[in-house]
Amino acid sequence: MKLLTASLAFFLLLCSIQHGCHARTKGQSVRKTATKPLAPALITFGDSIIDPGNNNVQSTIIKCNFPPYGRDFVTHRPTGRFCNGRIPTDFIASKLGIKDLLPAYLGTNLTNQDLLTGVSFACGGTGFDLLTAQVAGVLSMPEQLQKFKEYQGKVRTIIGEKKAAELFSQSVYGIIAGSDDVANTYFTTPFRIAQYDYSSYANLMLKGASSFVEQLIQLGARKIAIVGVPPIGCVPSQRTLAGGILRDCASGHNAVARLYNSRLAKEVEKISKKHQNVTLIYADIYDFLYDMIAHPTKYGFEVSNVGCCGTGLLEVSVLCNPLTPTICGNVSNHVFWDSYHPTEKAYSILAEYITQKLIPYLV
């Protein structure tokens, strides 16, 4: 078994730079590659960072399948990705030689080839606290696993039990969630913050994350990366809501994130010792993203404390819409696209830093 507990790992690789993608948004079929893919499929779970459109067909206001989202996407159309362009899972699928775009499992016309090369079950607004998804009206993390079981059945029908088991064991799995637990549940739901202190809430999140990983292993996953929570207190919306008159990073949000991350790293080690045939990676993205936000000019940005959509203070999801009065002139100068999610350029810079360090551990 190989265990990598290193900062940046999986999330940064997810964002590896790719250019010239050509794909359709309906079904999002694969691009033929000249070399053999480094993994048969990429399968991901989590929140809006890697949701390519699963929320489009759910009864929730946490959506972005309308302009100006997608303005810099390959088709220049919104797809349900919470970004001006591609999201992390698109980059990793392309880097692995699998396909240009990783499609949503829900609401897309998936071909057999789409299914066999992987999908995303991620839903914006979800988290490891079951209340998070309930409030947002989206699939919870356990419900994403139920959809994964449904997906496995479809794959078995296509290629048979034996080949399907091999595909599931050789595929790369990514998990990123927790930000919405901190920002949208703990600090905004009065009874949650009254019921839990920072430490106990971090433990609640950890319990959900640990259970998810264990269940995923039981379902045949053998190459898994779970990403820690970023400095969520430093995203524009949380600065506006909880950063005081100067809009500093919200210290409480970041404190919970750091507690969770430190415990998640230890939990990954514990689970890895238990499952010797599993490659489990903990990817800590906190410090790198904090540095990018604190020192944007080092990374080629000018603005990191407001988003690019509207005023950049609060606009996200339905508040970032075709009627939003102001869009920044140069998206490439901004770390954040809306008040919560990074720009495509920010994702690509994160990838450049780590691309070559992770692939050998997961393929």
**How many other β-carbons are positioned within 10 Å of the β-carbon of residue 264?**
26
Name the residue type at position 258: R
C-alpha 91 chain-centroid distance: 12
Active-site pick, 129, 338, 339, 348: 338
Dist. CA 35–CA 173, nearest whole Å: 21
Tokens of 30: 């694969």
338 catalytic residue (yes or no): yes
Backbone angles phi, psi at 309, to 5 degrees: -90, 125
Name the residue type at position 309: C
Q: Please, which residues bridge with residue 127 across strands?
A: none
211 catalytic residue (yes or no): no
48 catalytic residue (yes or no): yes
Active-site pick, 210, 284, 341, 348: 341
Express the helix, strand and coil content of the chain in percent, nearest 5 each. 45, 10, 45
Dist. CA 89–CA 101, nearest whole Å: 7
Active-site pick, 48, 120, 140, 272: 48
203 DSSP assignment: H
Catalytic (active-site) positions: 48, 338, 341
